[in-house]
Structure 1
Amino acid sequence: MGRIQVRQLDNPDETISFPHGENQVVRLGELVVGRDVHQPGWHWAEHVQPIVGTEWCEFTHRGFVASGQMGVRMNDGEELVIGPNSVFEIPPGHDGWVVGDEPVVTLDWAGAEGWASPPVEGERIVTTILFTDIVDSTVRARQLGDVAWKRTVGHHDERVRAVLAAFRGREIETAGDSFLAVFDGAARAVRCGAALVRALATIEVPIRVGIHSGEVELAGEQLRGIAVHAAARILALAGPGEVLVSATTRELAEGSGLRLRSRGRYPMKGLEGEREVFALESD
């Protein structure tokens, strides 16, 4: 039986201060909630961009504006002001600032932590890595033509980003028809993989997913390490609509209720020995 959990934002697990602002975070199991207070004059491009080093904020934010007026500009030029009592979702690739003389106070339940803290160069962490790509993308692009294919990829990207945000995945990079993301939970990454397959099937875009858990090196906005290569090799073994995971990810997800069936052992280019991989079975 579950138990009631209560945390106070006035006694946060972590507080990050930056010029003209503060980020307070509390954790309830896997749920992370943040309260951000931005003082008048705060502007992401001026006060946070030098800290994180990216051109735009690359986090998805979902939350609620408790007070103040928040201006947002997307990297495609879209711009709006979000006021009190508004529930919002802001995708990656945005700038933000305080409008007027009143502080902006928001409560975030997606993108609540890390957005104002740069990864330490060379820092090594244990994470779960998820790769996706569109099956037979070259053939599909030729069949559809450039204009229709561009539209399809745009719909694909929108759905992938929405699902990643729902499962608290962090997008690392995208290249054409593929995505690389990381998660702080193995079971959540596997469930996200299944949700991605379902979401893309609704627009008739078959994808495959490869997942591995291991230690990686954070180098700016990039991931480095053998674990990244292992995840890519697992992706290459997957078929249309299939979610394949490594033995390490399977062990970390033990007790989650996920049904993972062995697909055998395979040699993987650049890695020692053979590695066992497991396929997620649908309910």
Structure 2
Amino acid sequence: MPDTPTTKYAKSGDVHIAYQVVGDGPNDLVFVPGWVSHVEYAWEDPFFAHFLRRLASFSRLILLDRRGTGLSDRVADLPTLEQRMDDVRAVMDAAGSERAALFGVSEGGPMCLVFAATYPQRTSALALYGTFARLARAPDYPIGAPSDATERFLERVEAEWGTGSISAELFAPGHASDASFRQSWARFERYAVSPSGIRALIRMAADTDARSVLSVIRAPTLVIHRQGDLMNRVTCARYMAERIHGARYVELPGNDHFPWVGDTEAVLGEVEEFLTGVRQEPESDRVLATVMFTDIVRATETAATLGDTRWRALLQSHHALVREQLARFRGREIDTAGDGFLASFDGP
């Protein structure tokens, strides 16, 4: 798998949507990100890159930048949810994908919901993480975010955009004190969109409402949410899962919104098992080894009997003999202490 896959463009109406195809798994998986994205810089962030490689390990992964962010075209007018959904169709067509599973994260979720309802024949499965059908509070949706909270968030984002503080503190609080993480996401923010652009994208997310399609969806659906998610309330995920026919709902501990930080393997494992029926065992750093410690019996008495000169000669002979056997059986000398040896061998 190349370090940075080739970026291509699909045309959705008059808008060019940047996308990449990674991996050669048996089934297509379209990854629709939320917040902001940049399909090329994503591979420079170690957390995000690991997450994408794991997805590509069991799929033919198709990832994209939503219109208005990353390498996709900027737009003068805010697109409708249906226009954004159609960007997914355009990317699938360009990538030669007739049918795929969709994985929507955060703001990418509503696009996937509408796609699954509009193109059921092209949707093999639907995986959703940290997302919502509606974000803003309404008389018939009291669990949404109040408008004054959205306004405060907009003011902070515009003032601090490009510093990494928003992404680290609110989207990945587990890494908020990690200077390198903040620096990486400061660049990510600047590469992805301007301060005015992110303000427009947040307004667009706040106006999104995909509740009307929930009961129409018939694709197998997995909804994953972290209990302490600071950005999207867990109650919104429960609401969505309850209204999608046969949806499987998984609630995980943690407060990181980005799925590629925190207990990433828990998220990836759920998605992989849902889509393939199996789950990779996490790589273990445990090894089977034999540890050997030697000690000369009654060394103190023997040293007193032999005297210093003969005792040192005996120790030299002892050490030479032990090292010869270590070399013979591919052992590793760890330490020597007086007349004792500490060594290890691979295997039993």
TM-score, L = length of structure 1: 0.28
Which has the larger strand fraction? 1
Q: Which has the larger Rg?
A: 2
